[in-house]
């Protein structure tokens, strides 16, 4: 392959800055890397493979000659910027919810549905950071024993809302410890020393937008619209690392031992499940890891053919930046980008 030209939009953000670091640490041959953010960051610099890169505006010029545009900004901003990148011939790898449910946009977790990268795509979407661990854990089980129903409750860290929320958790926690009264900085309620059953806006049916995303993205990625899924998404005062409690009902009986075997042999999953040694996934354990951690695997005593699982993931890594880099590697392997010109 020839070295790639990559433009990163949102390069100062929680995901974008980590993506740049992972890209720099990777062995991917690169010809150029452009870094973009909002107007307020233009002129600031970031380090990349020992070089200093200047932040620029995400305009047409930023995408000239780009093979890939990794865009990690709010969905509304993505909708404006993605067409500029496409017009310059770049494949857009979008981290927001803007295009995920479009029928012509693959929504990809490479271990689960790399086969959906099957041609020249203008836009490829990266799933929500709570969808990724869910499909990673469900897919190897579903292949052996079809899943009928899933109930998932999430415990989501503040980094899932970006860098402002990370700063907000620190300020609010300090304020509470110092007995100072401050208004909530990012969420409708204080997150410091609190738990909030509200991630993104609420829809008419009482579910939140985030809950709706998990339900529909999971069905799309697994090509399984028939699975019944319900979700409750909760924000917790943790910096990095999302956890999920997952109740799964299968068509046929399945033992926790068989589920452990299937999960252990699935690329990208690490089973951490030893109650005697008090070993189970935690947000802190997941933070900094590219694996999806699975534990507390047990029979669900309340239904037929049911299992209960506990998941943890670094939402910024496998939930976003690592998954994006894996997709780029898939595109290279499938010769869909970086083709030598003939």
Ligand X SMILES: NC(=O)c1ccc[n+]([C@@H]2O[C@H](COP(=O)([O-])OP(=O)(O)OC[C@H]3O[C@@H](n4cnc5c(N)ncnc54)[C@H](OP(=O)(O)O)[C@@H]3O)[C@@H](O)[C@H]2O)c1
Contact call for residues 272 and 295 (beta carbons, < 8 A): yes
The DSSP code for 290 is S
- In the bound state with ligand X, the residue whose beta carbon lies nearer, of 69 and 263, is 69
From the CB of residue 246, how many other CB atoms can be counted at a distance below 10 Å?
Answer: 21
The smaller minimum CB distance to ligand X, of residues 36 and 107, is found at 36
Cβ closer to ligand X: 7 or 113? 7
Told to check if 72 binds ligand X by CB under 6 A, we report yes
- Select from 4, 6, 9, 199 the one that contacts ligand X (CB under 6 A): 9
Kindly state the smallest distance separating residue 12's Cβ from ligand X, in Å: 3
Which residues inside 272-331 make contact with ligand X, applying CB under 6 A?
A: 315-316, 319-320
Give exposure, 148-181, as e/b (b: 16+ Cβ within 10 Å): bebbbbbbbbbbbbbeebbebbeebbebbeeeee
Q: Is 242 a catalytic residue?
A: yes
Does residue 40 touch ligand X according to CB under 6 A? yes
Among the listed ranges 36-44, 199-207, 219-227, 328-336, the one in contact with ligand X (CB under 6 A) is: 36-44
CA torsion sign for 208, 214, 217, 219 is negative
Half-sphere exposure of 286 (CA within 13 A, CB side): 34
75 binds ligand X (CB under 6 A): yes
Cα–Cα distance measured from residue 69 to residue 51, given in angstroms and rounded to the nearest whole number? 20
Q: Could you tell me the sign of the dihedral formed by the alpha carbons of 266, 258, 131, 334, in that order?
A: positive
**Minimum gap (Å) between residue 122 Cβ and ligand X:** 18
Nearest-CB residue for ligand X: 13
Which of residues 79 and 298 has its CB atom nearest to ligand X in the complex?
79
How many Cβ atoms are within 10 Å of 31's Cβ, its own excluded?
A: 12
Whether residue 198 lies in the annotated active site: no
Q: Does 96 bind ligand X (CB under 6 A)?
A: yes
Instruction: Tell me: does residue 154 bind ligand X (CB under 6 A).
Output: no
Nearer to ligand X, 77 or 176 (CB): 77
Tell me whether residue 246 or residue 316 sits nearer to ligand X (CB atom). 316
| Least Cβ distance, residue 218 to ligand X (angstroms) | 15
Gap between the Cα atoms of 22 and 9, Å rounded? 15
Residues 159-198 that bind ligand X (CB under 6 A): 159-160, 162-164
Kindly tell me which residue out of 8, 33, 69, 95 binds ligand X, with binding defined by CB under 6 A. Answer: 95
DSSP structure class, residue 40: G
State the catalytic residue, choosing from 129, 233, 243, 330: 129
| Interaxial angle between packed helices 131-144 and 256-264, expressed in degrees from 0 to 180 and rounded to the nearest 10 | 110
From the candidates 121, 139, 142, 242, give the one annotated as an active-site residue.
Answer: 242
- Residue written as tokens 């028939």? 226
Interacting residue with ligand X among 73, 191, 307, 311 (CB under 6 A): 73
Residue 110, SS3 per DSSP: helix
A 10 A CB-CB count for 338 gives: 18
C-alpha–C-alpha distance, residues 247 and 79, integer Å: 35
By the rule CB under 6 A, 135 interacts with ligand X: no
Interface residues with ligand X (CB under 6 A) are 9-16, 36-38, 40-41, 58, 72-75, 77, 95-96, 129, 159-160, 162-164, 315-316, 319-320
């Amino acid at each position: 392959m020839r070295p790639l030209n990559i433009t990163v939009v949102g390069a100062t953000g929680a995901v974008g800055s980590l993506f740049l670091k992972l890209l720099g640490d990777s062995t991917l041959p690169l010809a150029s890397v452009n870094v973009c953010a909002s107007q307020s960051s233009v002129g600031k610099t970031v380090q990349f493979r020992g070089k200093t890169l200047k932040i620029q505006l995400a305009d047409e010029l930023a995408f000239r000659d780009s093979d890939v545009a990794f865009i990690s900004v709010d969905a509304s901003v993505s909708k404006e910027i993605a067409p500029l990148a496409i017009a310059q011939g770049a494949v857009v790898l979008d981290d927001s919810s803007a295009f995920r449910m479009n029928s012509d946009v693959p929504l990809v977790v490479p271990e689960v549905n790399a086969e959906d990268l099957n041609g020249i795509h203008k836009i490829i979407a990266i799933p929500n950071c709570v969808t990724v661990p869910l499909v990673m854990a469900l897919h190897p089980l579903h292949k052996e024993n079809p899943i009928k129903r899933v109930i998932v409750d999430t415990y989501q860290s503040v980094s899932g809302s970006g860098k402002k929320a990370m700063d907000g958790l620190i300020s609010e926690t300090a304020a509470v410890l110092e007995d100072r009264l401050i208004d909530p900085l990012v969420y409708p309620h204080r997150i410091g020393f609190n738990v909030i059953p509200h991630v993104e806006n609420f829809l008419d049916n009482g579910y939140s937008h985030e809950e709706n995303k998990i339900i529909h993205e999971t069905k799309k990625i697994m090509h399984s619209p028939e699975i019944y899924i319900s979700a409750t998404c909760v924000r917790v005062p943790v910096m990095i690392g999302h956890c999920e409690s997952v109740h799964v009902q299968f068509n046929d009986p399945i033992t926790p031992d068989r589920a452990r075997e299937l999960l252990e042999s699935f690329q990208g999953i690490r089973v951490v499940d030893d109650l005697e040694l008090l070993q189970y996934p935690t947000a802190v354990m997941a933070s900094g890891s590219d694996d999806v951690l699975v534990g507390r695997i047990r029979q669900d005593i309340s239904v037929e053919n049911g299992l209960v699982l506990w998941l943890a993931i670094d939402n910024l890594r496998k939930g976003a930046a690592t998954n994006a880099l894996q997709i780029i590697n898939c595109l290279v392997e499938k010769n869909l980008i970086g083709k030598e010109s003939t």
